[in-house]
Amino acid sequence: MFRDNLAIVNHKIAAALALRQTAKITGDKVTLVAVTKNHPPLVVTEALEAGLADVGENRVQEAKNKKELLPAGGIWHLLGHLQTNKIKQAVELFDIIESVDSAKVLMHIEHEAAKLNKLQRVLLQINLTREEQKSGLSEEDYQLLRTQLASYPHVRVEGLMVIAKATDKPEETRPTFARGYQLFCQLQEQLGSATCTTLSMGMTHDYWIAIEEGANSVRLGTALFGARDYSIK
Ligand SMILES: *Cc1c(COP(=O)(O)O)cnc(C)c1O
Quick one: pLDDT at residue 95?
A: 98
Quick one: pLDDT at residue 232?
A: 80
In percent, the amount of the chain with pLDDT more than 70 equals: 100
Quick one: pLDDT at residue 76?
A: 98
What's the CA gap between 173 and 202, in Å, rounded? 9
Quick one: pLDDT at residue 65?
A: 97
For residues 91-120, give the mean pLDDT: 98
> Do residues 119 and 74 make contact, with C-beta atoms less than 8 angstroms apart?
no
Question: Which sign does the torsion angle of CA 128, 130, 136, 142 carry?
Answer: positive
The yes-or-no verdict on residue 23 having pLDDT over 90 is no
Q: How many CA atoms lie within 13 A of 169 on its CB side?
A: 3
Q: Which residues have a Cβ under 8 Å from the Cβ of 105 and sit 6 or more positions away?
A: 82, 84, 87
Strand pairing partners for 217? 31, 200
Q: For residue 136, give the DSSP letter.
A: S
- Indicate which residue's Cα is closest to atom 11 of ligand 1: 219
pLDDT tens-digit readout, 170-202: 999 999 999 999 999 999 999 999 999 999 999
Burial of 174 (0-12, 13-18, 19+ CB in 10 A): middle
Instruction: Label residue 9 by pLDDT band (50, 70, 90).
Output: very high
**Residue ranges per domain, the chain?**
2-222
Name the residue of 33, 62, 79, 224 to mutate for ligand 1: max ligand atoms within 8 A of Cβ. Answer: 79
What's the CA gap between 124 and 142, in Å, rounded? 8
pLDDT tens-digit readout, 126-151: 999 988 888 999 999 999 999 999 99
Instruction: Report how far ligand 1's centroid is from the alpha carbon of 151 (Å).
Output: 31
Helices and strands per DSSP (H, E), number in the chain: 9, 8
Instruction: Report how far ligand 1's centroid is from the alpha carbon of 35 (Å).
Output: 6
Quick one: pLDDT at residue 26?
A: 86
2-222 in CATH: which number?
Answer: 3.20.20.10
pLDDT tens-digit readout, 35-79: 999 999 999 999 999 999 999 999 999 999 999 999 999 999 999
Name the residue of 97, 211, 219 to mutate for ligand 1: max ligand atoms within 8 A of Cβ. Answer: 219
Quick one: pLDDT at residue 214?
A: 97
Say what angle helices 60-69 and 41-49 make with each other, to 10 degrees: 70
Regarding pTM above 0.75, the answer is yes
Instruction: Report how far ligand 1's centroid is from the alpha carbon of 182 (Å).
Output: 22
What's the CA gap between 233 and 230, in Å, rounded? 7
Atom of ligand 1 nearest to the CA of 219: 10
